[in-house]
Amino acid sequence: MARRRHSGKTPPHLLLVAMHFPPSRASGVYRPLAMANHFASRGWRVTVVTVTTDFFEHITQSADPTLEGAVHGDVCVVRAPMGLQRLETDTRRFGYMRANFPLLHSAFWDWTERALFPDLYSSWIPGVVRAGLRVHRHSPVSVVLATGNPWSAFGAAWAFARFTRVPYVMDYRDSWTLDQFNVCDAFPPDHPAWAWERRLIGGASRVVFVNDPMRQWHAKRYPRDADRMVVVENGWDAGLLGAPAFRRPGADGPLRLGYVGTVTTQLPHDVTWKGWKLAMDEPALAAATITLYGHLGFFAKSVARVRALLPLDGDSRVFWAGPVGKREVLSAYEELDILLMMIPSSPYVTGGKVYEYMASGRPIVAIHSPDTAASDPLRGYPLYFPVRELSEEAVRDALVAAATRAATITEADFLACLDHARRYERSTLLDAFDAQLREVANA
C-alpha cells in the first residue's frame, strides 16, 4: 500500500498504542494519558488503541475509575482484546486446554513467545493491528506512537506499518533489553528480544526515552539509529495535580512527613525505615509522623508482600492512609509538610513521581543513590535534601536537615519551588515533541 503524506489541509491523525490507559492505575498510565490529551489540545486527531477492560478486572485487578474523566473529550478510545488465558490466575476461569493440558498449554505459549514475538502480552498484537486498520480505513493515520511496556505495543506498531507504510515512533517509558534496576542486560545474548528490538528501532522514525542516560545506553547499543533517538522527560500534569497552596510546615502540630504513590517492593524500604528509626527521636522531628498514601503494589496479589515491609506498628509513627484517586491527590500533598522521594537507585531511573513532588512546592528528602537519574531534575530545587549515600545514617541526616529547614520556610521559598517545577510541566515538555511528530507525519 502506498504511504499517505499528510497534506496539512486536515489535522494530522495520531494513533497512540498504549495498553496502560484509563482506567488502569499502573504508573505507566500517566504518560500516554498526558500525550493523548496534549496532542488533542494541539489540534491533532487522536485515536488511542488500548486493551479491553477485562484485562484490569481479571488480570491486574486494579483500576482507578477517576482517571477516565481526565481523558480529553476529543480523544477516541478503541479497545482491542487480548488473549487472557495465559495470564489468568483464577482457576475457575481456565479454558479447556489450560485446565486439562496445563503443560501443553504452557509449552505452546512459551513457543509463541520465542518464535513469534518475545513478550508476555504478544497475544494483544493481532487485536491492536486489526483495530488500527479499521481506524485507518475510516480516517487515514498520519503517525503511530507506541508506548512500552508492554513491548507488544512496539510489535503492533511495526506490524501496522508493514501493512500501511505509516511511520511509527517508539516511546520507552521503561527499558526493554536493559535491566535498569540492576544495571545489566535483561536477557542472555541469544534471546530473540535483541533481534526484535534491533529490527523495531531500525524501522522507527523516532525512538523516545524518558531520560538521557537511557538514551545514551541505547545509542551505544544501536549506533546506526542514534540520530533518531530523543529524550522526552515525564513531567507533571497540571490538569491532574491542580494548584497547591502554601502552608507553613508544622504550623498546626508536629511535622507530617509522607510518601504519595504506589508502594512497591522495589522501594528502598530497609534503609528508609532504619534511618527513620534513628531520626525520629531527634529534636527537629519530635512527635513527627510518616504517612503513606497509595496502593500497596500494582496488583491485588502484591498487597500482603508489600505490607510486610512497612513498620506499621504504633511505636514507629508510620501510617498507611490507603490509596487516593489521581484526581484527589492534591489533598494528600496538602496534608504533608515534607515528602519522601523513595525510588530504586539506578543511573537509568527517573520516576514520574519526582516531577509531581516538585510541583507540590514541599521539601523533598531524596532517598536514592546520588547517581540515580532522578537527581538531575531535582538539582536546583530550593528545598532538595538528598542523601549523601544510601545508608541509614545518611537517611537520618537528610531527614533532620529537611525538618530543621522546615521551621524557616517562607511563602517565597514555596513559590521558588513552584518556579523550578514549572519548567517540567508536561505540556511544556510535549510541545517540542509535538513539532517532531508533525515532522514525521509530513515526511
Amino acid identity at 51: V
Grid cell at residue 106:
504452557
pLDDT of residue 57: 78
Whole-structure pTM value? 0.89
The CATH number that domain 13-235+425-442 falls under is: 3.40.50.2000
What is the torsional sign of CA 346, 348, 352, 357? positive
13-235+425-442 shares its CATH topology with 238-422: yes
Q: Kindly report the three-state secondary structure assignment for every residue of the chain.
A: CCCCCCCCCCCCEEEEECCCCCCCCCHHHHHHHHHHHHHHHCCCEEEEEEECCHHHHHHHCCCCHHHHHHCCCCCEEEEECCCCCCCCCCHHHCCHHHHHCHHHHHHHHHHHHHHCCCCCCHHHHHHHHHHHHHHHHHCCCCEEEEEECCCHHHHHHHHHHHHHCCCEEEEECCCCCEECCCCEECCCCCCHHHHHHHHHHHHCCEEEECCHHHHHHHHHHCHHHHHHEEECCCCECHHHHCCCCCCCCCCCCCCEEEEECCECCCCCHHHHHHHHHHHCCCHHHCCCEEEEECCECCCHHHHHHHHCCCCCCHHHCEEEEECCCHHHHHHHHHCCCEEEEECCCCCCCCCCHHHHHHHCCCCEEEECCCCCCCHHHHCCCCCEEECCCCCHHHHHHHHHHHHHHHCCCCHHHHHHHHHHHHCCEHHHHHHHHHHHHHHHHHC
What is each CA distance from 147 to 52, 187, 268, 342, in whole angstroms?
A: 17, 21, 27, 25
pLDDT of residue 108: 63
- Exposure of 107 by Cβ count < 10 A (0-12 exposed, 13-18 middle, 19+ buried)? exposed
Q: Which CATH superfamily is domain 238-422 in?
A: Glycogen Phosphorylase B; (3.40.50.2000)
pLDDT of residue 242: 82
Return the residue matching grid coordinates 491485588. Answer: 300
Q: Which residues of 283-293 are buried (b: 16+ CB within 10 A; e: fewer)?
A: ebbeebbbbbb
pLDDT of residue 214: 97
Cα separation of 406 and 70, whole Å? Answer: 34
Cα separation of 441 and 443, whole Å? Answer: 6
pLDDT of residue 82: 83
Work out the angle between the directed axes of helices 125-138 and 152-164 (0-180°, nearest 10): 40
pLDDT of residue 98: 57
**pLDDT beneath 70, residues of the chain:** 1-9, 58-59, 84-102, 104-111, 113-115
Grid cell at residue 357:
513532588
Residue range 83-116, pLDDT digits in tens? 755 655 665 666 666 556 567 656 666 667 666 7
Angle at 267 between CA 408 and CA 254, to 5 degrees: 30
CB proximity list for 310: less than 8 A, separation 6 or greater: 263, 269, 273, 292, 318, 320
Cα separation of 354 and 365, whole Å? Answer: 11
pLDDT of residue 115: 65
pLDDT of residue 325: 76
Listed by start position, the domains of the chain span 13-235+425-442, 238-422
